Amino acid sequence: MLKIYLINDTSKHPNWGSQATSAALKGLIKSAGGDLFATLPLKQLSKANWHSTAKRQSFSNFVKARAKGNKITKKLASVTLSRLITKLPNVIPRNYSQFASYAKKLKNAELL
């Protein structure tokens, strides 16, 4: 199964056309058998931080499944990992012209 990280998720954008576009993309990914394991919302696209990474979302899901409502465990994990974000590579292009080179690096396992 192909793992998909959806960049520019507009599901929560106030524009209904943006919401419909993301819903359609998610539906196509699911119907094609893809695993949509994380998304990067439109409003987070320009913010390079731990909360906008697929790794954080995967880790967050892992912690939630094991913490079972323990707020201290969740907060400790979030704070600790937010401090470590500076060690992660920058994998989000700043503009459209950089997208192709970032995609190529990701495909060749040069990022993450």
Alpha-carbon span 23 to 17, nearest angstrom:
10
Which tens digit of pLDDT belongs to each residue from 83-93? 766 666 667 77
Domain layout of the chain by residue ranges: 1-45, 46-112
Which tens digit of pLDDT belongs to each residue from 19-65? 999 999 999 999 999 999 888 887 776 665 555 566 666 776 777 77
Residue 39 φ/ψ, nearest 5 degrees: -135, 155
Alpha-carbon span 43 to 87, nearest angstrom:
23
Q: E strands along the chain, which residues?
A: 3-9, 35-41
HSE-up of residue 67 (Cα within 13 Å, Cβ side): 16
- Residue 69 tokens read as 């409502």
